[in-house]
Each structure stands twice: as structure tokens, then as C-alpha cells.
Amino acid sequence: MSRAKAVTFKGNPVTLAGDAVQVGQKAPDFKCVSNAMAAVTLADSNGKARLFSVVPSIDTPVCSTQTKKFEDAINALGDKVACYTISLDSPFAQKRFCGAEGVKTMQTLSDQHNQSFGKNWGVLFEESPLPINLLARSVFVVDPTGSVTYAEYVPEVTSEPNYTAAVEALKKAAG
């Protein structure tokens, strides 16, 4: 399944692979790689509220801002939550970014290997105005039982998400 013109990138329409994730549905599984080179799946954080902050590339200004804003917002929630920034960047680039920017709470996951997050969550650029694959900027919250409680596909990929709404949804999901 593809979703033509699902979002725009610098005003250009982008087709996304996969179905859009909806609030109330069971969260789709995925297999990404942490910056410690370990495989991470949805089940690895069962029992916690989870925030998935999806960015096109960690090294761009808006993606950096998004990761750092969520880092600041979630620090007070502690062990009740698991929070991830997901991109197609290599685990090495993600680790370098986190070290340089002091990001410690947000875990980075690379979807570079098989794009399972991108495909299963409906955020993978299928047709892009760029010669590279990216993930569409989006934010998802999943409750401890595995149900999606918040889903935001940012209409213009170069814009920032609604941080307040996402963090409030995470707090509610965490209890």
C-alpha cells in the first residue's frame, strides 16, 4: 500500500509506503538498531509508555531541535517511559550526534537496515523529490499495553511537530 501525496517536503508532494497508523490500533512491530549496535523491537519496551519521534535525518536543524526538545520534556518522566528518535541515519551517526549534543534520555534507533519501522508505521518515503530515502517527520505514543494513543504525521516534513500534544499524550499513557 502507498499513500500518494501523504506529506510534502519543501512543498513537493511525497508518497509514503504503508498504511497510516491510527489512534486505537495495536502498534506495529519493527526491528531497528540502537547506537550500541543491538537489535530493538517494539517488545523490548513492553510495559512502558513509549514515544517514537521520527525524523528525516538527525543532522539537520529541525531534526536536531525535535530530538533535543523531546529530550528536555521527558527527563522528568524517568523510568515510566521509553523514548526513541528514529531515522535512516546510521547508528554511528546517531551515536556521534547524541554525544555531541548531550542527548542521554532519548534513545536513537536506526531503521537503515530494512526500513521495517518506516514501512510498518507508514513513514517511509516511497517517492521522494530527493535522491535518497528518508522517513517522514512524525510522532507516535504507545501505551504500556501496546495501543497507539497519539499519532501525528507532520504535513510539511520540514516543520516541527506539536511537542505539547505529544508530551501530554505520553504523560497520560504513562499514568
Question: Catalytic residues, which ones?
Answer: 63
Length of the chain: 175
Q: Give the phi and the psi of residue 134 in degrees, each rounded to 5.
A: -140, 170
Amino acid at 80: K
Amino acid at 88: L
Q: Which long-range contacts (CB under 8 A, 24 or more apart) does 101-104 make?
A: 101/64, 101/67, 101/68, 103/67, 103/68, 103/71, 104/71
Instruction: Give the DSSP H or E segment for 85.
Output: strand 81-87
